[in-house]
A and B are shown apart, each in its own frame.
Chain A
Amino acid sequence: MANERVTEDLVDGLLRKLGYYDDENAIIVEKQQSAVQAIRTALSKASKTGKGGVGYPEFIITAPGTPDIVVIVECKAEVSKHESKDRDKPANYAVDGVLHYARHLSPNYTVIAIAVSGTEKASLWSFFLMPKGESEPRDLLAPHGAPVEHLIPMDDLIRAASFDPLVHRQRERDLILFSQEMHEFMRDEAEMSEQEKPLAVAGTLIALGNEVFAKTYDAYPAKELPAFWMQTIKAEVQKAAIPVPKVENMTQPFTNIEVQPELRKPTKGYPKGLLNEIVRLLADRVLPFMTIYHDYDVVGQFYGEFLKYTGGDGKGLGIVLTPKHVTELFSLIPNLNKDDVVVDPCAGTGGFLISAMMQMAKTATTQTELQSIKRDRLIGIEQRPQMYALAASNMILRGDGKANLYQGSCFDTAIVKAVKEHVSSADAPLRPNVGLINPPYAKSKSDLSELRFVENMLDMLDKGGTGVAIVPVSCATASSAEKTNIMAKHTLEAVMSMPPELFYPVGVVTCIMVFKAGIPHAVSNKKSWFGYWRDDAFIKVKNLGRVDHHKTWPAIRDRWIEAWRNREVHPGESVTAMVGPKDEWVAEAYMETDYSSLSQKDLERVLLDYALFVLKGSQPEEDAD
Chain B
Amino acid sequence: MQRLDDIFHLRYGHSLELNALKRVHAPEGVNFVSRAMGNNGVTARVDVKVAPAKAGELSVALGGNGVLSTFVQPEPFVCGRDVMILTPIEPAMGIAEKLWWARCIWENRYRFSYGRQANRTLGSLLVPDAAPEWVQQTPLPTHDGLAKSSASPLALTDPHGQHWSDFTLGEIFDIKKGKRLTKAERVPGKTRFVSASEKNNGITDMNDVPALFPAGVLTVVYNGNSVGHAFYQDEPFFASDDVNVLLPNGPVSRWAQLFVAAIIKHGRTRFTYGYKWTLARMKQTVIRLPANGNGEPDWGYMEAVMRGLPFSAAIDDRP
Binding site for B on A (CB under 8 A): 472-474, 477, 500, 507-511, 532, 534, 539-542, 549, 584, 586, 588-589, 591-593, 595, 598, 600, 602-604, 606-615, 617-623
B16 within 8 A of A: no
| A588 engages B116 (CB within 8 Å) | yes
A130 to chain B minimum Cβ distance, whole angstroms, is: 21
Contact of B74 among A511, A591, A618 (CB under 8 A): A618
Are A541 and B183 closer than 8 Å at their CB atoms? yes
For the complex of A and B, 10 pairs with smallest distance between CB atoms: A473-B115, A509-B115, A588-B111, A611-B141, A613-B40, A509-B113, A541-B184, A621-B39, A509-B114, A477-B116
Q: Which B residues touch A595, using CB under 8 A?
A: 104, 107, 127-128
Which of B41-49, B78-86, B153-161, B275-283 lies on the face that meets chain A?
Answer: B41-49
The answer to whether A614 and B116 have CB atoms under 8 Å apart is no
Judged by a CB distance under 8 angstroms, whether B143 is at the interface is yes
Chain A contacts of B107 at CB under 8 A? 593, 595, 598
30 A-B pairs with CB atoms under 8 Å apart are: A500-B113, A508-B114, A540-B183, A549-B184, A588-B112, A588-B116, A593-B108, A593-B126, A595-B104, A595-B128, A603-B96, A603-B103, A603-B135, A606-B99, A606-B103, A607-B140, A608-B141, A610-B40, A610-B99, A613-B40, A615-B147, A618-B31, A618-B75, A619-B26, A619-B45, A620-B42, A621-B38, A621-B39, A621-B43, A623-B45
- The answer, yes or no, to whether B102 is at the interface (CB within 8 Å) is yes
- Once A589-B111, A603-B103, A618-B42 are accepted as A-B contacts, the answer to whether A610 and B121 lie under 8 Å apart by CB is no
A-chain residues with CB within 8 Å of residue B45 when the two chains form the complex: 619-620, 623
Please, how many angstroms separate the alpha-carbon atoms of A622 and B115 in the complex? 29
- CB contact under 8 A between A510 and B99, given known A614-B143, A619-B45: no
Complex CA–CA separation, A586 to B43 (angstroms): 32
Interface pair B140/A617, CB less than 8 Å apart: no
CB atoms of B114 and A602 under 8 A apart: no
Q: Counting CB contacts under 8 A, is B138 at the interface? A: yes
Q: Residue among A474, A534, A593, A613 with the most chain B CB within 10 A? A: A593
Q: Which chain B residue has the least Cβ–Cβ distance from A609?
A: B40
**Cβ-defined contact, A600 with B114, below 8 A:** no
Contact code string B94-137 (vs A, CB < 8 Å = 1, else 0): 01100110111001101111111000010000111000001100
Nearest residue in A to B39 (C-beta to C-beta)?
Answer: A621
Minimum distance in angstroms from B275 CB to a CB of chain A: 20
Flag if B135 contacts A620 (CB, 8 Å).
Answer: no
A612 to B71, CA, bound (A): 13
Chain A residues, CB < 8 A from B75:
618
Q: How far is the CB of A552 from chain B (nearest CB, A)?
A: 13
B126 in contact with A592 (CB, 8 Å): yes
* A608 contacts across to B, CB distance below 8 A: 141
Structural contact, A607 and B99, CB atoms closer than 8 A: yes
Shortest CB distance B182–A (Å):
6
Query: Per DSSP, are chain B's interface residues mostly helix, strand or loop, or mixed?
Result: mixed
B89 within 8 A of A: no
- Add 19 more A-B contacts to A603-B135, A611-B141, A615-B146 (CB < 8 A): A473-B115, A500-B114, A541-B183, A549-B184, A589-B111, A595-B107, A598-B107, A607-B141, A610-B71, A611-B140, A613-B40, A614-B74, A618-B40, A619-B26, A620-B31, A620-B39, A620-B45, A621-B39, A623-B45
B179 at the interface (CB under 8 A from A): no
Q: Enumerate chain A residues within 8 angstroms of B114, measured Cβ to Cβ.
A: 500, 507-509
- Contact partner of B146 (CB less than 8 A), chosen from A474, A510, A606, A611, is A611
List residues of chain A with CB within 8 A of the CB of B135: 603
Q: B227 on the interface (CB 8 Å rule)?
A: no
In contact, A586 and B116 (Cβ under 8 angstroms): yes
The answer, yes or no, to whether B11 is at the interface (CB within 8 Å) is no
A586 to B115, CA, bound (A): 11
Instruction: From known contacts A509-B113, A592-B126, infer whether A620 and B44 are also in contact, taking CB-CB under 8 Å.
Output: yes
Query: Would you give the shortest CB distance from B33 to chain A, in whole angstroms?
Result: 10
- Which residues in A have their C-beta under 8 angstroms from that of B116? 473-474, 477, 509, 584, 586, 588
Task: Report the minimal beta-carbon distance from B186 to chain A, rounded to whole angstroms.
Answer: 10
- Range, interface on chain B: 35 or more
**Is B72 an interface residue when CB atoms closer than 8 A count as contact?**
yes
Shortest Cβ distance from A473 into chain B, in angstroms? 3
Most chain A Cβ neighbours within 10 Å, of B113, B142, B147: B113
Assembly CA distance A174 to B91 (angstroms): 64
The answer, among B32, B42, B110, B115, for a CB contact under 8 Å with A472, is B115
Structural contact, B111 and A542, CB atoms closer than 8 A: no
For the complex formed, measure the closest distance between the CB of B241 and the CB atoms of chain A, giving whole angstroms. Answer: 14
**Is the CB–CB distance between A603 and B112 below 8 Å?**
no
Minimum CB–CB distance for B4 against chain A, Å: 11
| Contact status B115-A477, CB under 8 Å | yes
CB of A439 to closest CB in B, whole Å: 15
Contact indicator B143/A611 (Cβ below 8 Å): yes
A167 to B108, CA, bound (A): 43
Confirm or deny: B190 has a beta carbon within 8 angstroms of a beta carbon on chain A.
Answer: no
Q: Are B126 and A610 in contact (CB under 8 A)?
A: no
Q: How far is the CB of A614 from chain B (nearest CB, A)?
A: 5
Task: Judge whether B25 is part of the interface by a CB distance below 8 angstroms.
Answer: yes
Chain A residues near B99: list those with CB within 8 A. 603, 606-607, 610
- Report Cα–Cα, A477/B113, bound state, in Å: 11
Shortest B68–chain A CB gap in Å is 11
* Chain A hits for B71, CB < 8 A: 610
Bound: A472/B42 CA distance, A = 31
Q: Given A510, A511, A607, A613, which contacts B138 in the complex, CB threshold below 8 Å?
A: A607
A602 CA / B40 CA spacing, docked (Å): 16
Chain A residue numbers with a CB within 8 Å of B96 are 603, 607
Query: Closest Cβ of chain B: how far from A447's Cβ, in Å?
Result: 21
Bound-state CA distance A549–B185 (Å) is: 10
Q: With the chains together, A541 CA to B185 CA distance in Å?
A: 10
- How far apart sit A611 and B40, CA to CA, in the bound complex (Å)? 10
Task: Considering the complex, give the chain A residue whose CB is closest to the CB of B137.
Answer: A600
Whether the pair B25, A588 counts as a contact (CB closer than 8 A) is: no
Contact of B111 among A511, A591, A622 (CB under 8 A): A591
- With beta carbons under 8 angstroms apart, the residue of A500, A589, A610, A618 that contacts B140 is A610
Instruction: Please tell me if the beta carbons of B112 and A623 are within 8 angstroms of each other in the complex.
Output: no
Docked CA distance A609–B72 (Å): 11
Rounded to whole angstroms, the CA-CA distance of A604 and B104 in the bound complex is 14
Query: Which of A534, A595, A623 has the largest count of B CB atoms less than 10 A from its CB?
Result: A595
Closest A residue to B139 using CB positions: A607
> What is the distance, in angstroms, from B76's C-beta to the closest C-beta of chain A?
11
With a CB–CB cut-off of 8 A, which chain B residues contact A477?
115-116
A614 to B104, CA, bound (A): 21
Please report which residues of chain B, range 170-219, place their CB below 8 angstroms from some CB of chain A when the two chains form the complex.
182-184
Q: Known interface pairs A500-B113, A510-B115, A589-B111. Does A598 touch B182 (Cβ–Cβ under 8 Å)?
A: no
Across-interface contacts of A542 in B (CB, < 8 A): 182-184
> How many Å from the CB of B25 to the closest CB on chain A?
7
Residues from chain A with Cβ under 8 Å of B126 in the complex:
592-593
Shortest Cβ distance from residue A479 to the other chain B in the assembled complex, whole angstroms: 10
Chain A residues near B103 (CB-CB < 8 A): 598, 602-603, 606
A589-B74 CB under 8 A given contacts A542-B182, A607-B138 = no
CB nearest neighbor in B for A477: B116
Residues in chain A near residue B43, CB distance under 8 A: 620-622
A525 to B97, CA, bound (A): 43
